[in-house]
Amino acid sequence: MLDSKKLFEALVQENANSLAIFLHSVIRDPGTADDLFQETLITAWKILDRFDQRRSFGRWLRGIARNLILAHRRRMARQILVSEAETLEFIDAHCESVQELRNDLQDERLTNLRACIDALPDTYRRAVRLRYQDDVRGTKLAELLNTTWDNTKKRLQRGRKMLFDCMQHKWAQASTTT
Protein backbone atom coordinates (compact mmCIF):
# COMPACT_ATOMS: atom_id res chain seq x y z
CA MET A 1 0.00 0.00 0.00
CA LEU A 2 1.29 3.44 -0.89
CA ASP A 3 1.92 5.90 1.91
CA SER A 4 0.60 9.44 1.56
CA LYS A 5 4.00 10.85 0.54
CA LYS A 6 4.44 8.37 -2.32
CA LEU A 7 0.83 8.81 -3.42
CA PHE A 8 1.25 12.59 -3.36
CA GLU A 9 4.47 12.31 -5.39
CA ALA A 10 2.77 10.08 -7.96
CA LEU A 11 -0.21 12.42 -8.29
CA VAL A 12 2.04 15.46 -8.57
CA GLN A 13 4.19 13.77 -11.21
CA GLU A 14 1.06 12.93 -13.19
CA ASN A 15 -0.23 16.52 -12.99
CA ALA A 16 2.99 18.57 -12.96
CA ASN A 17 2.96 19.43 -16.68
CA SER A 18 -0.65 20.57 -16.57
CA LEU A 19 0.05 22.74 -13.51
CA ALA A 20 3.18 24.24 -15.11
CA ILE A 21 1.31 25.01 -18.34
CA PHE A 22 -1.51 26.58 -16.36
CA LEU A 23 0.86 28.83 -14.41
CA HIS A 24 3.10 29.77 -17.36
CA SER A 25 0.05 30.64 -19.44
CA VAL A 26 -1.06 33.34 -17.00
CA ILE A 27 2.23 34.58 -15.48
CA ARG A 28 4.48 36.76 -17.60
CA ASP A 29 7.68 36.08 -15.63
CA PRO A 30 8.88 32.45 -15.85
CA GLY A 31 10.66 32.72 -12.49
CA THR A 32 7.45 33.86 -10.80
CA ALA A 33 5.52 31.05 -12.47
CA ASP A 34 8.10 28.55 -11.19
CA ASP A 35 7.89 30.08 -7.69
CA LEU A 36 4.11 29.76 -7.73
CA PHE A 37 4.47 26.18 -8.97
CA GLN A 38 6.59 25.36 -5.92
CA GLU A 39 4.28 27.30 -3.60
CA THR A 40 1.30 25.39 -5.02
CA LEU A 41 2.94 22.04 -4.28
CA ILE A 42 3.96 23.09 -0.77
CA THR A 43 0.45 24.34 -0.06
CA ALA A 44 -1.07 21.17 -1.50
CA TRP A 45 1.16 19.01 0.70
CA LYS A 46 0.20 21.04 3.79
CA ILE A 47 -3.54 20.73 3.11
CA LEU A 48 -3.54 17.28 1.51
CA ASP A 49 -6.00 16.06 4.13
CA ARG A 50 -8.58 18.48 2.63
CA PHE A 51 -8.36 16.89 -0.83
CA ASP A 52 -11.62 15.19 -1.82
CA GLN A 53 -10.54 12.01 -3.63
CA ARG A 54 -13.73 12.03 -5.68
CA ARG A 55 -12.45 15.17 -7.43
CA SER A 56 -9.68 15.58 -9.98
CA PHE A 57 -6.30 16.05 -8.28
CA GLY A 58 -5.14 18.21 -11.20
CA ARG A 59 -8.12 20.51 -10.87
CA TRP A 60 -7.56 20.71 -7.10
CA LEU A 61 -3.90 21.68 -7.68
CA ARG A 62 -4.88 24.29 -10.24
CA GLY A 63 -7.48 25.64 -7.79
CA ILE A 64 -4.72 26.17 -5.25
CA ALA A 65 -2.61 27.78 -7.97
CA ARG A 66 -5.53 30.00 -9.00
CA ASN A 67 -5.85 31.28 -5.43
CA LEU A 68 -2.12 31.91 -5.26
CA ILE A 69 -2.22 33.73 -8.61
CA LEU A 70 -5.03 35.98 -7.43
CA ALA A 71 -3.15 36.69 -4.18
CA HIS A 72 0.00 37.39 -6.18
CA ARG A 73 -2.00 39.65 -8.49
CA ARG A 74 -2.90 41.82 -5.56
CA ARG A 75 0.82 42.10 -4.75
CA MET A 76 2.31 42.40 -8.24
CA ALA A 77 -0.43 43.09 -10.80
CA ARG A 78 1.95 43.88 -13.71
CA GLN A 79 3.34 40.33 -13.79
CA ILE A 80 0.01 38.68 -14.60
CA LEU A 81 -0.84 38.20 -18.29
CA VAL A 82 -4.48 37.42 -17.59
CA SER A 83 -6.21 37.27 -14.28
CA GLU A 84 -9.92 37.40 -14.93
CA ALA A 85 -11.65 34.53 -13.18
CA GLU A 86 -13.39 33.51 -16.43
CA THR A 87 -10.08 33.24 -18.27
CA LEU A 88 -8.56 31.19 -15.46
CA GLU A 89 -11.61 28.90 -15.51
CA PHE A 90 -11.32 28.48 -19.30
CA ILE A 91 -7.64 27.58 -19.12
CA ASP A 92 -8.31 25.24 -16.19
CA ALA A 93 -11.09 23.46 -18.11
CA HIS A 94 -8.78 23.08 -21.10
CA CYS A 95 -6.01 21.63 -18.91
CA GLU A 96 -8.51 19.17 -17.43
CA SER A 97 -9.66 18.01 -20.87
CA VAL A 98 -6.04 17.50 -21.95
CA GLN A 99 -5.37 15.57 -18.73
CA GLU A 100 -8.39 13.33 -19.35
CA LEU A 101 -7.14 12.62 -22.87
CA ARG A 102 -3.69 11.86 -21.48
CA ASN A 103 -5.23 9.47 -18.94
CA ASP A 104 -7.12 7.70 -21.75
CA LEU A 105 -3.86 7.27 -23.65
CA GLN A 106 -2.15 6.11 -20.47
CA ASP A 107 -4.86 3.46 -19.96
CA GLU A 108 -4.32 2.30 -23.54
CA ARG A 109 -0.57 2.12 -23.01
CA LEU A 110 -1.00 0.10 -19.84
CA THR A 111 -3.36 -2.28 -21.62
CA ASN A 112 -0.83 -2.68 -24.43
CA LEU A 113 2.02 -3.21 -21.96
CA ARG A 114 0.06 -5.90 -20.11
CA ALA A 115 -0.71 -7.63 -23.41
CA CYS A 116 2.97 -7.49 -24.38
CA ILE A 117 4.03 -8.91 -21.00
CA ASP A 118 1.47 -11.71 -21.37
CA ALA A 119 2.86 -12.48 -24.84
CA LEU A 120 6.43 -12.97 -23.57
CA PRO A 121 7.78 -16.51 -23.43
CA ASP A 122 7.37 -17.85 -19.87
CA THR A 123 11.10 -17.58 -19.04
CA TYR A 124 11.19 -13.86 -19.78
CA ARG A 125 7.66 -13.12 -18.51
CA ARG A 126 8.47 -14.61 -15.10
CA ALA A 127 11.76 -12.69 -14.83
CA VAL A 128 10.11 -9.40 -15.83
CA ARG A 129 7.17 -9.87 -13.45
CA LEU A 130 9.35 -10.81 -10.49
CA ARG A 131 11.69 -7.88 -11.09
CA TYR A 132 9.26 -5.11 -12.02
CA GLN A 133 5.93 -6.14 -10.48
CA ASP A 134 7.23 -7.80 -7.31
CA ASP A 135 10.38 -5.63 -7.03
CA VAL A 136 12.67 -8.63 -6.46
CA ARG A 137 16.32 -7.77 -7.06
CA GLY A 138 19.79 -9.24 -7.34
CA THR A 139 20.65 -12.71 -6.17
CA LYS A 140 17.19 -13.20 -4.67
CA LEU A 141 15.76 -12.84 -8.17
CA ALA A 142 18.26 -15.37 -9.52
CA GLU A 143 17.33 -17.78 -6.72
CA LEU A 144 13.62 -17.52 -7.51
CA LEU A 145 14.35 -18.10 -11.20
CA ASN A 146 16.58 -21.05 -10.31
CA THR A 147 19.50 -19.72 -12.35
CA THR A 148 22.68 -17.64 -12.10
CA TRP A 149 22.75 -13.88 -11.69
CA ASP A 150 24.36 -13.48 -15.15
CA ASN A 151 21.61 -15.57 -16.73
CA THR A 152 18.99 -13.53 -14.84
CA LYS A 153 20.42 -10.26 -16.18
CA LYS A 154 20.37 -11.69 -19.71
CA ARG A 155 16.71 -12.79 -19.31
CA LEU A 156 15.74 -9.31 -18.13
CA GLN A 157 17.66 -7.70 -20.98
CA ARG A 158 16.00 -9.91 -23.59
CA GLY A 159 12.58 -9.56 -21.96
CA ARG A 160 12.86 -5.74 -22.00
CA LYS A 161 13.92 -5.84 -25.65
CA MET A 162 10.91 -8.01 -26.54
CA LEU A 163 8.62 -5.65 -24.61
CA PHE A 164 10.11 -2.66 -26.41
CA ASP A 165 9.62 -4.30 -29.81
CA CYS A 166 6.05 -5.33 -28.94
CA MET A 167 5.16 -1.81 -27.73
CA GLN A 168 6.70 -0.23 -30.84
CA HIS A 169 4.59 -2.56 -32.97
CA LYS A 170 1.43 -1.60 -31.03
CA TRP A 171 2.25 2.13 -31.35
CA ALA A 172 2.79 1.71 -35.09
CA GLN A 173 -0.55 -0.08 -35.39
CA ALA A 174 -2.28 2.67 -33.41
CA SER A 175 -0.78 5.43 -35.55
CA THR A 176 -1.96 3.76 -38.78
CA THR A 177 -5.53 3.42 -37.47
CA THR A 178 -5.85 7.10 -36.50
Q: What is the pLDDT of residue 1?
A: 41
Q: What is the pLDDT of residue 8?
A: 83
Whether 96 and 88 have beta carbons less than 8 Å apart is answered as: no
Q: What is the pLDDT of residue 78?
A: 58
Integer angstrom CA distances of residue 49 from 23, 37, 39, 126: 24, 20, 17, 39
CB atoms within 10 A of CB 51: 15
Whether 22 and 77 have beta carbons less than 8 Å apart is answered as: no
**pTM attached to this predicted model:** 0.47
Q: How far apart are CA 104 and CA 106, in angstroms?
A: 5
Q: How far apart are CA 105 and CA 49, in angstroms?
A: 29
Q: How far apart are CA 130 and CA 77, in angstroms?
A: 55
- What SS3 state is found at 2? coil
Q: How far apart are CA 97 and CA 131, in angstroms?
A: 35
**CATH 1.10.10 domain residues, the chain:** 120-177
Task: Give the total residue count for the chain.
Answer: 178
Q: What is the pLDDT of residue 35?
A: 94
What is the assigned CATH class of domain 120-177? mainly alpha
Q: How far apart are CA 117 and CA 97, in angstroms?
A: 30
**CATH 1.10.1740.10 domain residues, the chain:** 4-101
The answer to whether domain 4-101 has CATH 1.10.1740.10 is yes
Q: What is the pLDDT of residue 52?
A: 85
- Regions of the chain short of the pLDDT cut 50: 1
> 3-state SS of the chain: helix, strand, coil percent to 5?
85, 0, 15
At 27-73, the pLDDT tens digits run 888 898 999 999 999 999 999 888 888 888 999 999 999 999 988 88
